Amino acid sequence: MSGPSEGPGACPVLVTGGAGYIGSHAVLALRDAGYPVAVIDNLTTGFRFAVPEDMPFYEGDIADAALLARIFAAHGMGDGVGAVMHFAGSIVVPESVENPLKYYHNNTAKSRALIEAAVKAGVPHFIFSSTAATYGVPEVERVGEDCPQVPINPYGWSKLMTERMLADTAFAHALNYCALRYFNVAGADPQGRSGQSTAGATHLIKVAVEAALGKRDHVAVFGTDYDTPDGTGVRDYIHVSDLAAAHVLALEALVADPGRSLQMNCGYGRGFSVMEVLDAVDRVTNTPIERRIGPRRAGDPGCLVSDNARIRATLPWEPRYADLDTIVRHALAWERKLDAIHRG
């Protein structure tokens, strides 16, 4: 499937949702590794400033088949060359419970259109931004890729359906793929080039650093009666730049072996409770945050921690920022820079 000239640094990549939080970090990682990159984003939740000004950018929808065909042709993707790295979609679990059809439209139906466009063009590689929410409420302490995938919310189902579409498509067509199942993504680019910029974001560390800087007057703690050491939800927090690096390595693996597809967890294999995260923010900022206890949110499991043995065995992935205080410091630095961007 891969052309003879395709390889690390040569394979052109279309990044969907590349103006968003995780997508923008993947764009930076790809560029740093020498890949030609183009970005498509409808800017519903993304920001044009998150994409380097000299990078080809298309404001549009991933379900626009004509636009995708033009992009693939313009950037040398197709006929067995190139890759799609797919981040575009909706990500808020409680919202998915309240508005499931939005999630099945944005995350599943539009992904189907994108996959179809890639197959029609002959783009051979596809990296998919999946989620640990596909596991639902695991019955094990650390979740491996072979654990049952039984989501408990529409967000998880919408992503799992896309994984299934990719598996079936890879069987039927000249396409290999990697589904990377994220745990809780946090932090920001250590060089201050990008970060979580969405107003009203629900990511805990983002919310907490906003509170530390006075942008919120408290942090809500949703549930203190889980079966965890302090009763609050436990999550595996992964630095967004380590996650972006995993995407580049996954692409290299797909290019090197066109007959192989992959499904891998992206996490550090260690969990922190909500209270432990807030303690870390207090510690890093030296600013105590008000914590307001509330009921559990619909669709939230009590504990979700990765078994990351597969990705460590499959890719030469060596996380550089696997430290909670470091993640918080980078998130805090970005939050301060974001103020300057908005003022400018």
Whose tokens are 């597969």? That residue is: 310
**SS3 string of 200-239?**
CCCCHHHHHHHHHCCCCCCEEEECCCCCCCCCCCEECEEE
Q: Catalytic pick from 58, 103, 155, 237?
A: 155
Q: DSSP letter for 133, please.
A: G
d(CA 23, CA 41): 10
Say how far apart CA 176 and CA 196 lie, in whole Å: 30
Give residues with Cβ within 8 angstroms of 294, minimum separation 6.
Answer: 220, 221, 222, 223
Q: Which residues pair with 127 in a beta bridge?
A: 85, 178
Cite the DSSP H helix spans in the chain.
21-32, 65-74, 93-98, 100-103, 110-121, 154-172, 204-212, 240-256, 274-285, 309-314, 324-343
* Strand partners of residue 215: none
**The one-letter amino acid at 120:** K
**Cα 108 to Cα 112: distance, rounded to the nearest angstrom:** 6
Question: What torsion do the CA atoms of 192, 198, 203, 204 make, to the nearest 10 degrees?
Answer: 70
Helix, strand, or coil here: 38? Answer: strand
The position carrying tokens 């922190």 is 272
Residue 268 falls in the annotated catalytic set: no
- For residue 257, give the nearest of 180, 170, 181 by alpha carbon: 170
> Which H/E stretch holds residue 265?
strand 262-266
Q: Look up residue 48 and give its two tokens.
A: 């044009």
Pairing of strands 234-235, 272-273: antiparallel
252 Cβ contact partners less than 8 Å away, ≥ 6 residues apart: 8
Which residues are part of the catalytic machinery?
155
